[in-house]
Structure 1
Amino acid sequence: MWHKHPKALPYLFLSEMWERFGYYLMIGIFTLYLKDVEAGFAMTEKEASDLYGTFIALVFLTPFIGGLIADRYLGYRNSIIVGGILMGIGYFLMGVHSLPVLYAAMTLVILGNGFFKPNISTLLGNFYTNDEYRDKKDEGYNIFYMGINVGGFICNFFGAVLYNLFGWQYAFMAAGVGMFIGVATFIFGIKHYGNHDQKKGVQEGDMPFSKILLFILLPSVVFGIIGWLVKGTTSDTNPDSYIFGSDSTDAFIFACVPVVFFYASLYFRARTEDKRPIGALLTIFAVVILFWAVFKLNGSALNTWGDRYTDREITGTTEAVFSSLKLSDKLAYKKDSVGKYDAQFRLQKVEGTVVKEVNYPVYFRNVKPDKLPAQNTEVSLWSPNLSQSINPGWVIILTPLVIAFFTFLRRKGKEPTTPTKIAFGLLISALSVLVMVAAVKAGSNGTEKVSVWWLVANYGVITIGELFLSPMGLSVVSKLSPAKITSLMMGGWFLATSIGNKLSGVLASMWDSYEDKTNFFWLNFCLLLSATALMFLLLKRLNKVMLEKGIR
C-alpha cells in the first residue's frame, strides 16, 4: 500500500492517528464526564450537549486562522508541532476537576487544533501535485483517513480501562500522552517532507493580516458578544428568550457572520481564473454543514443512546473477557440506588422550584419489569464510551473496500468525480438515520432497551457515507484551491465542519424535548435529504469546474 505513495504518508498517517487517539478518547468521555454527578459536573443532558456542541464547533473554527498563519508566517511544520503541544497540555488539564481549569483546557485544545488540523491535511495534499502521484490523491486521503480512525477505534478501550481503574483524570491524561506521541512521530518524519512544508508568505493581492484582525477577527468577537447579550422574544417554549437556543449558540452563530463574509469576499476578489473553483468549494462547504450536524451526534445523542437505551449487560465468556480487561463495571440494582452508572438525576419540582434529584436509577429505568434483577443483585455492563469505537471500527474495515471499489472503477474509466462521491455520501448518510428510526420503534420509544446491533448497523451505513464524503472533501479542497490560499481554504472546510458541529449540539440539546424519539431522527433524515437534493442539483456545475481544472 505504502510503496505507491510518497514516503511522507506513513509519518503523516501515524501522526494523525495518535492525534485522533487523544481527541476521540477525550470526546468519547466528555459528555459522560460532564453529566456524572459524583466525579463530574452534574450537568443535565441539555447543558452537556450545549457545551459539547460549542466546544467541538470552536475546535473546528480555529483552523480558519491556523491555516492562514501557517500559509503566511509559521509554515506547516512549525504550526503542526505547536498545535500538537497545545492540545496535549489541554488534555492533561482536563483531568483537573475544576470548571475554570476545564474551560482553560478546552481553550488550549481549540487553539491547538486550529494549528494542527488544517495544516497536516494540506501538507499531505502537497505531495500529490506532481504527475507521479496526482491520480492517487483520493486514495492517499482515504489511507490518511483510515489513520484517523485507527486512533479513534483503539482510544476508547484505553479510556474505559483507565476510567474504570483510576478515574476520569487518568483517561484524560492518556489522551495527552497520545497527542505527544503524535508530535514525536511527526518530528521523526521531517526528513521526508522536503520543501512541501514551506510557508508561502504574503502574496500579491493578499489581505494584510492587520486588516484580517481589524475587519474579520475583531468584528467576530464583537458579533459574538452581541449574540451573547441580545435576547429574542420570550415565550412559553422559550422562557429565556434565546434566539438560537442558548447564549453560547447565539454567540457562536453571530460570531461566524464576519468569517463567513470573509470567505464570500474571497470569491468576489479572486482573479477570473480562480472564481469558479473558489465558488465550487464554497458551495460544497455550505452543503456539508448538514452532514456534520447529524454525523457529530455520535458524541452526544448517540452516546446517550448507547449509555441509556442500549442493553449493555454482559454475561458468560463475554463478561469474563471484559472484566479481565477492565472494560466493564458491576452495577447493583437498588430502587433508589446512587451507584456509579445510575447516580444520575432527573428534574423534578419541589415547592415550585426545579431541582436535580440524584437517586434516580437511569440505567434500569427502561428495563422491562420482568427482566429487572433482584434487589442488590449485581450485573456487569460494558463501559458506555466503547460505543464510540463502532464508527472508527467500521472505517478500518470498509476503507480498503472503498479504495478497491474506486480503483476498480478508475481502471474501467468509470470512477465518479469527487463532487459525485460527496453527493452519494450525503444520500447514504441520510439512509443511515432510518436505522435509528427503526431502533426507536424496536425499543417502544425508549421504554425498553434495544440491542447494540442497532448502533452497529447505523454506524455501518453512515460510515460508507462518511468515506464517500469526508476524505473526498479534504481531497477536493486540495485539488481546487488556488495555490496561495490552499491552507486558508482548508480552514474553510473546517469552518463548515465547525458550524455543522454547533448545529449538532443544538440538535442534541433538543433530545429530551422530543417525547417521540422517532421525530428527532426524522428531523435528522430531512436535513440530510435536503442537503443531498441540493448537492445533486449543483452536481453538473461542480463537475464542469472540475473538468475545466483537468481533474476529477
Structure 2
Amino acid sequence: MNETIKVKHPKGLTFLFLSEMWERFGYYLMIGIFTLYLKDVKAGFSMTEAESADLYGTFIALVFLTPFLGGLIADRYLGYAKSIILGGLLMGVGYCMMAVHSLPILYLSMTLVIIGNGFFKPNISTLLGNIYSTPEYSDKKDEGYNIFYMGINIGAFICNFFGAALYIMLGWGYAFIAAGVGMFIGVAIFIYGMKHYRAFDVKKGVKEGDMSFLKIVLVILVPSVIAGVIGWILPTKLIGHALVGSASTDAFIFACVPVIYFYGSLLAKADKDEKRPIAALLTIFAVVILFWAVFKQNGTALTTWADRYTDRHLQNPVAEKTFSKLNFSQNFTYSKDSIPLYDNAFRIQKKDGIVLKEYNYPTYFKNIPADKLPAEGGKVELWATNLSQSINPAWVILLTPLVVALFTWLRNRKREPSTATKIAFGLFISALSVLVMIGAVYSGGNGAEKVSVLWLVAGYGVITIGELFLSPMGLSLVSKLSPVRITSLMMGGWFLATSIGNKLSGVLATLWDTYENKANFFWVNFSLLLFSAVIAFFLLKWLNGIMEEKGIK
C-alpha cells in the first residue's frame, strides 16, 4: 500500500492517512467502550439501555455538528493546518479527562471532544482534497479518498483490542487515556508531514456579501443555543413529555433549525453559477441522513446484539488461551439465584411494571437452553463485547482495495459510475445488510437462543460495501462540487447531515426494548434505508446533469 501511495498519489496522502488513522484510533477506542462504561454499575454510571443510548446519540450527533463552524473558521481565518492541530489537541485532552470518574467531568470532556472534532474533521478532509487539485492527481481523487478511508478503519480496527485489554486489566480510565495518547500521536505525525501540504493550506477569506463571523455567531450560533434551550424546556412544560424521545432530542432538533437555515441561505444568496452545485450538495446531505441513522447503531443496538444475543463463548481451546492471555476476554460465573430477579429484557429490574435500573449480573446465561447451561458456580470465558465493533473496520480494510480496483477497472474502460451513482448504490446495498440481521433474529427465535457471531460478521460485511460506495464518495463529491471559497464549510454540511443521522440513530436505539419482536426493529431500519435509496435513484439524472455541467464525474 505504501508503494502505491508513493508512486501514484501525492506524498502528503501518507501523512494525512497516518494522522487520520491515529485520530480514529482514539475516537473509536473511546466510542467503542462508551455505552458499556455508562451502563457499568460498579465502575460506570449504571445507566439504563435507553439512558445510555440517548446520551450516546446526543454525543455523536454534536461531535458531527460542530464541523460546520470549524470548517467556516478554517476557511476564513485559521487555515486548515492550525485548525487540525488545535482540534486534535482538544480531543486528546478530552479523552484523557474521561479517565476521571465524575459526571460533570465526563460532560466537560465530551464538550472538548465535540469542539475538537469540529476543528479537525472537516479540515483534514478538505486538505486531502486540496492536494489532489493539481492536474497530475485530479483523476485519482476518489481513489485517494478510498485509501484515506482505509486509514480511518485501520485505526478503528486495532483500537478495540487495546480498549478491551486495558479496561479488563486496569479499568475504564486507562482505556480512555490510551485514546488520548493515540490522538496526540496523530497530531505529531500531521506536524511532521507539514512540508507536503503547506502549499495547499490556503485560507479562502471572506467574499463580498458573505456574513461576517460575528454575524454568524449572532445569527446562527446564539439562536441555535437559545433554540436548544427552548427545545429542552418548552415541550415538556407544555405537554408534559418530550416531542421526540427525550428532552435532549428535542433540544438537538430545535438547535439544528438555525444551522439548516444558514445552509439554505447559502443557496439563496449564491452566485448563479454556484446555485446548482450547492443545491446538489444539500440534496445529497439530506438523502444520506438515514444511512447514518442506521449505520451508527453499531455503538448501541448492534453492541447490544453482540452482548446479549451473540454466542461469545470461547469454546476453542486455542482461541480461549490466546484471548485470555491477551486479556481480550472475561470470565463469568453462573448462579441460578441471580436470574429470577430480572425480567426477560435481560438487565432491566422492574417494580410494578416500572423500570428501576439495569444491573451488571452476567447477562450471558439469560437465553441459553437449560441443557447447555454450566453447573452452578461454573465459569465461561467470553470475548469482550466491544471487539464486535472491529468487525466493520476489518471489512473496510479487506474490501477497500477490491472496491478501488473495481472502480479503477471500470474507469479504464470508460464505464465508471458517477460519484452520485455510487452513493445511490451505497444506500441500496446498506438496506440489504439489515435483512441479514432480520435473518439473525429469526435464527435465534427472537432472542430465545444465542446466534453465531457470523450473523454480525455477514451483516457488517454487506453494510461495509454500502459504506465504501457512500462515505468516501460523499467526501469526494463535496470536494468536487463545492465553490472554492466555502469548500470546508460545505464539508461541514456533510458532517451536519452525519450529525442529524447520528442523533436519529440514538433515538432509534432507545426504542430497542420497546420491540418485543426484534425483527420489527430491523424492519424499520430496512424501510428507512430503502426509502432513502429510492429517492437517491430518482434524483440521479438531475445530480449527474449538474456534475456534467461542472465537467466532473
One fold, TM greater than 0.5?
Answer: yes
Classify the secondary structure of the residue corresponding to 1:243.
coil
Classify the secondary structure of the residue corresponding to 1:152.
helix
Whether the 8 Å contact between 1:336 and 1:360 is mirrored in structure 2 is: no
1:264 is aligned to 2:264: yes
1:356, distance to aligned residue in structure 2 (A): 2.7
Query: Match for 2:178: what amino acid?
Result: A
1:178 to 168, 175, 182: 182
Classify the secondary structure of the residue corresponding to 1:245.
coil
The one-character-per-residue Cα deviations of 1:380-406 (angstroms, maximum 9, x if unpaired) are 000000000000000000000000000
Which residue is 1:18 aligned to? Answer: 22
Which residue is 1:363 aligned to? Answer: 364
1:353, distance to aligned residue in structure 2 (A): 6.2
- d(CA) in 1 for partners of 2:126 and 2:175? 30
Percent of aligned pairs sharing the same letter = 70
Whether the 8 Å contact between 1:160 and 1:326 is mirrored in structure 2 is: yes
Which residue is 2:251 aligned to? Answer: 251
Aligned residues: 543
Which residue is 2:282 aligned to? Answer: 282
Which residue is 1:137 aligned to? Answer: 141
Taking a change above 3 Å as real, the CA distance of residues 232 and 355 of structure 1, as seen in their structure-2 partners, is: closer
* Stretch deviating more after TM superposition (277-286 or 226-235): 226-235
1:218 is aligned to 2:219: no
1:357, distance to aligned residue in structure 2 (A): 6.1
1:43 is aligned to 2:44: no
Query: Match for 1:418: what amino acid?
Result: T
Taking a change above 3 Å as real, the CA distance of residues 359 and 36 of structure 1, as seen in their structure-2 partners, is: closer
1:62 is aligned to 2:53: no
Classify the secondary structure of the residue corresponding to 1:444.
coil
Query: Match for 1:305: what amino acid?
Result: W
Which residue is 2:209 aligned to? Answer: 205
Which residue is 1:516 aligned to? Answer: 517
1:321, distance to aligned residue in structure 2 (A): 0.8
Whether the 8 Å contact between 1:514 and 1:520 is mirrored in structure 2 is: yes
1:194, distance to aligned residue in structure 2 (A): 3.0
- d(CA) in 2 for partners of 1:371 and 1:52? 35
Whether the 8 Å contact between 1:346 and 1:360 is mirrored in structure 2 is: no
Which residue is 1:375 aligned to? Answer: 376
- d(CA) in 1 for partners of 2:276 and 2:359? 57
- d(CA) in 2 for partners of 1:360 and 1:8? 50
Which residue is 2:119 aligned to? Answer: 115
Whether the 8 Å contact between 2:41 and 2:360 is mirrored in structure 1 is: no
Which residue is 1:241 aligned to? Answer: 241
2:12 to 5, 8, 30: 8
The one-character-per-residue Cα deviations of 1:474-514 (angstroms, maximum 9, x if unpaired) are 00000000000000000000000000000000000000000
Classify the secondary structure of the residue corresponding to 1:313.
coil
Question: For 1:293-372, what aligned pairs fall within 5 Å after superposition?
Answer: 293-315=293-315, 316-337=317-338, 345-349=347-351, 354-356=355-357, 358=359, 360-372=361-373
1:205, distance to aligned residue in structure 2 (A): 2.3
Whether the 8 Å contact between 2:231 and 2:251 is mirrored in structure 1 is: yes
- d(CA) in 2 for partners of 1:147 and 1:171? 21
1:211, distance to aligned residue in structure 2 (A): 1.2
Whether the 8 Å contact between 2:74 and 2:123 is mirrored in structure 1 is: yes
Taking a change above 3 Å as real, the CA distance of residues 184 and 360 of structure 1, as seen in their structure-2 partners, is: closer
Query: Match for 1:168: what amino acid?
Result: W
Query: Match for 1:114: what amino acid?
Result: G
- d(CA) in 1 for partners of 2:221 and 2:238? 31
Question: For 1:445-484, what aligned pairs fall within 5 Å after superposition?
Answer: 445-484=446-485
1:335, distance to aligned residue in structure 2 (A): 2.2
1:355, distance to aligned residue in structure 2 (A): 2.5
Which residue is 1:194 aligned to? Answer: 198
Which residue is 2:86 aligned to? Answer: 82
- Contiguous gaps of at least 5 residues in structure 2: none
Which residue is 2:412 aligned to? Answer: 411
Which residue is 1:546 aligned to? Answer: 547
1:337, distance to aligned residue in structure 2 (A): 4.8
* Stretch deviating more after TM superposition (359-368 or 100-109): 359-368
Classify the secondary structure of the residue corresponding to 1:230.
helix
1:73 to 71, 77, 88: 77
1:364, distance to aligned residue in structure 2 (A): 1.0
- d(CA) in 1 for partners of 2:81 and 2:357? 49
1:361, distance to aligned residue in structure 2 (A): 3.8
The one-character-per-residue Cα deviations of 1:510-540 (angstroms, maximum 9, x if unpaired) are 0000000000000000000000000000000
The one-character-per-residue Cα deviations of 1:35-60 (angstroms, maximum 9, x if unpaired) are 11111110000000000000000000
Whether the 8 Å contact between 1:332 and 1:378 is mirrored in structure 2 is: yes
- d(CA) in 2 for partners of 1:373 and 1:102? 39
- d(CA) in 2 for partners of 1:302 and 1:345? 16
Which residue is 1:439 aligned to? Answer: 440
Query: Match for 1:241: what amino acid?
Result: H
2:152 to 148, 163, 168: 148
- d(CA) in 2 for partners of 1:373 and 1:142? 47
1:195, distance to aligned residue in structure 2 (A): 1.7
- d(CA) in 1 for partners of 2:479 and 2:173? 38
- d(CA) in 2 for partners of 1:336 and 1:258? 54
Query: Match for 1:526: what amino acid?
Result: S
The one-character-per-residue Cα deviations of 1:147-171 (angstroms, maximum 9, x if unpaired) are 0000000000000111111010011
- d(CA) in 1 for partners of 2:357 and 2:397? 41
Taking a change above 3 Å as real, the CA distance of residues 166 and 544 of structure 1, as seen in their structure-2 partners, is: same
1:345, distance to aligned residue in structure 2 (A): 3.8
Which residue is 1:97 aligned to? Answer: 101
- d(CA) in 2 for partners of 1:491 and 1:304? 31
Aligned-residue Cα RMSD (Å) equals 1.5
Taking a change above 3 Å as real, the CA distance of residues 260 and 435 of structure 1, as seen in their structure-2 partners, is: same
- d(CA) in 1 for partners of 2:531 and 2:337? 45
Whether the 8 Å contact between 1:349 and 1:355 is mirrored in structure 2 is: yes
Taking a change above 3 Å as real, the CA distance of residues 357 and 439 of structure 1, as seen in their structure-2 partners, is: closer
The one-character-per-residue Cα deviations of 1:65-99 (angstroms, maximum 9, x if unpaired) are 00000011111000000000000000001111110
* Stretch deviating more after TM superposition (315-324 or 13-22): 315-324
- d(CA) in 1 for partners of 2:362 and 2:307? 13
Question: For 1:486-497, what aligned pairs fall within 5 Å after superposition?
Answer: 486-497=487-498
Whether the 8 Å contact between 1:348 and 1:357 is mirrored in structure 2 is: no
Whether the 8 Å contact between 2:26 and 2:159 is mirrored in structure 1 is: yes
Q: TM-score, normalised by structure 1?
A: 0.96
Whether the 8 Å contact between 1:287 and 1:531 is mirrored in structure 2 is: yes
Q: TM-score, normalised by structure 2?
A: 0.96
Classify the secondary structure of the residue corresponding to 1:95.
coil
- d(CA) in 2 for partners of 1:475 and 1:274? 18
* Stretch deviating more after TM superposition (205-214 or 389-398): 205-214
Whether the 8 Å contact between 1:336 and 1:359 is mirrored in structure 2 is: no
